[in-house]
Homo-oligomer: A and B are copies of this chain.
Amino acid sequence: MSDTAAEIASQLAWIAVDWGSSNLRAWGLDKHDHVIAQAGSDKGMLSLTPDQYEAELLHLIGEWLPGSGQIEVIVCGMAGARQGWQEAAYLPVPTRLDQLTQGAVLPTLAGAQLRVYLLPGLSQTCSASSHSDVMRGEETQLAGLVAETPAFSGLACLPGTHAKWATLESGAVTQFTTYLTGELYQLLAHQSVLQHSVGSDDLNDPACHDAFISAVSEINDAPETFSSRLFGLRAQDLLDGRLPSGKARAAVLSARLSGLTIGLELAGTCHDRPNGEPITLIGNKELCHRYTLALNTIGFQTQHLEGDVAVLAGLRLAHKALKA
């Protein structure tokens, strides 16, 4: 054991883990909830069978552990899915985000060094006012909001492959909706006829910026034109002499495709919504900046919480709830 590892082991109070579909990240925390160690791997839920989780976790954080005693590990994300380590059944909304541990499950472990809590996701069943929906992992990022402001009320958006929009009231999720935005963009950009027309955009470039916000605005005004505007990108590439050529052309068309997919999401979620309180965006800076541009275009203000900060704050809140 290295000196550093010995120092970590002497101070370690508990471990926080965000275990997603394609990777996991672990943080070692001291008794003041300060991060004293970090580790990660690409052994996400999709590459593990249930009997491999404990070994993978020990492989990653084994060096942090003290010689004796049991360390609590709070895990959020896909490790708690049916096809993960062990299922932590969805909690139905409304759910208070400081009470996620009430749905936690403790998988049986081979060793006695760890006590693992798998946090549940949230579910919403179909009713007059809402559709069937699920989230797993994002609830812990939302709990990060509540860790900062216990009675948080407002609208939060977590952009991504499956973007989530959640309504919070006094620290509870009351309703949420998932949009396939990121996945739609990836499929269209890389696997459809549009792959011949689009490349990578850069919203700092004025032509990309303008193409992006025009597309957001057009789809927000007329969401029924989404599917024809997609093919329109291909036609524009074939016909439009005003577009730049080469990579600059592909960049502008990418920005437009991004604007169409994000714009469709915003049309869905912001339709008929008064633009008063700012919308809280949780995620990485670059993607949240893109959403801010889009939301500003249709008259909404935003504030930003970094995704890593949010998930760690949510895991801390869950750990505190265990002690209460």
Contact surface of A with B, Cβ cutoff 8 Å: 90, 123-126, 131-134, 162, 177-181, 183-184, 187-188, 191-193, 223-232, 234-236, 238-240, 261, 264-265, 267-269, 271
Query: Given A134-B239, A232-B132, A239-B134, A179–B268 Cβ distance below 8 Å?
Result: no
Chain B residues with CB under 8 A of A183: 192-193
Known: A180-B231, A187-B192. 13 other contacts (CB 8 A): A125-B239, A126-B236, A133-B231, A134-B239, A162-B193, A178-B231, A180-B192, A184-B192, A187-B187, A187-B191, A225-B268, A226-B268, A227-B265
Which B residue sits closest to A183, measured CB to CB?
B192
- Other-chain residue from B125, B181, B227 in contact with A179 (beta carbon distance below 8 A): B227
Query: Given A133-B235, A235-B131, A235-B133, A228–B192 Cβ distance below 8 Å?
Result: no
Which B residue sits closest to A232, measured CB to CB?
B131
Copies in the complex: 2
Complex Cα spacing A238 to B90, Å: 11
B224 near A267 with CB under 8 A, answer yes
Chain B residues with CB under 8 A of A232: 131-133, 178
Complex Cα spacing A134 to B235, Å: 6
- Other-chain residue from B180, B192, B236 in contact with A230 (beta carbon distance below 8 A): B180
B181 near A227 with CB under 8 A, answer yes
Complex Cα spacing A250 to B26, Å: 37
Chain B residues with CB under 8 A of A227: 179-181, 184, 261, 264-265, 268
Chain B residues with CB under 8 A of A226: 223, 226, 264, 268
Please provide the 9 A-B residue pairs with the shortest distance between their CB atoms, ordered closest to farther.
A223-B224, A224-B267, A132-B235, A178-B231, A179-B227, A180-B230, A224-B268, A187-B187, A132-B236
Which B residue sits closest to A218, measured CB to CB?
B131
Chain B residues with CB under 8 A of A134: 234-235, 238-239
Which B residue sits closest to A265, measured CB to CB?
B227
- In whole Å, how far is A85's beta carbon from the nearest beta carbon of chain B? 18
Complex Cα spacing A232 to B187, Å: 18
Give the interface centre of A230, A232, A240, A265 by most chain B CB atoms within 10 Å.
Answer: A232
A162 near B239 with CB under 8 A, answer no
- Other-chain residue from B178, B181, B188, B240 in contact with A132 (beta carbon distance below 8 A): B240
Query: 6 A-B residue contacts at CB 8 Å?
Result: A90-B239, A131-B232, A180-B231, A187-B191, A224-B271, A226-B264
